[in-house]
C-alpha cells in the first residue's frame, strides 16, 4: 500500500516551472522511516488517506478511475478539488498526506536552493520514540 502513499504525495506536490515537485526529492528514505518509526495511528492514517485519495476521483472530477491512472492534468484537478473539498474531514485526510510530503519536499537541498536557503545539516538520528 505504500506505493499508493508515494503516488498520492507526488500528485499533491507536483513539479512546476518554478519549483521541483516531491517526486524530485528523495522520498523513499522518508517513507521507510515513517513505516519504521511512526506510531501505528499515524501510519494507518497516512495509508487510509492515500487509499481514499486514490479511489476518490469519481467524487471530485467525475472520472471512475484511480488517481494512479489519470493523466497529469486530471490528477492535478483531482488533487486541487480534494484538497479544497467542502467537507472538513476530506480536507483533513489530504492535509495528513500534504504534511508528510512537505517534510520531504521542504528539507530537500534542491528545493531549499530554489528558495535561497542553505541545506539542512545531516540528521544525526538522535531522536527516537520511547
The per-residue pLDDT string of the chain (130 residues; one tens digit each, 9 = 90 and over) reads: 899 999 999 999 999 998 899 999 989 989 999 999 899 999 999 999 999 999 999 999 999 999 999 999 999 999 999 999 999 999 999 999 999 999 999 999 989 998 899 999 987 777 665 5
pLDDT of residue 53: 98
Question: Can you tell me whether residue 119 is helix, strand or coil?
Answer: coil
pLDDT of residue 126: 74
Distance separating alpha carbons of residues 30 and 115, to the nearest angstrom: 21
CA nearest to 83, candidates 103, 99, 104: 99
Distance separating alpha carbons of residues 120 and 41, to the nearest angstrom: 28
pTM reported for the whole predicted model: 0.89
pLDDT of residue 97: 97
Torsion of CA 126, 128, 46, 122, to 10 degrees: 10
Could you tell me the CA-to-CA distances from 23 to 2, 42, 59, 64, 122 in Å, in that order? 14, 22, 25, 25, 20
Distance separating alpha carbons of residues 79 and 7, to the nearest angstrom: 11
Amino acid at each position: 500500500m505504500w506505493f499508493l502513499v508515494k503516488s498520492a504525495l507526488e500528485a499533491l506536490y507536483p513539479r512546476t516551472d518554478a519549483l521541483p515537485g516531491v517526486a524530485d526529492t528523495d522520498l523513499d528514505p522518508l517513507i521507510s522511516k515513517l513505516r519504521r518509526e511512526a506510531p501505528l495511528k499515524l501510519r494507518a492514517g497516512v495509508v487510509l488517506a492515500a487509499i481514499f485519495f486514490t479511489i476518490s476521483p469519481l467524487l471530485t472530477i467525475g472520472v471512475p478511475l484511480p488517481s494512479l491512472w489519470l493523466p497529469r492534468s486530471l490528477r492535478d484537478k483531482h488533487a486541487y478539488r480534494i484538497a479544497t473539498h467542502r467537507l472538513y474531514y476530506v480536507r483533513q485526510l489530504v492535509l495528513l498526506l500534504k504534511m508528510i510530503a512537505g517534510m520531504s519536499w521542504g528539507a530537500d537541498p534542491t528545493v531549499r536552493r530554489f528558495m535561497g536557503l542553505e541545506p539542512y545539516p545531516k540528521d544525526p538520528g538522535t531522536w527516537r520514540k520511547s
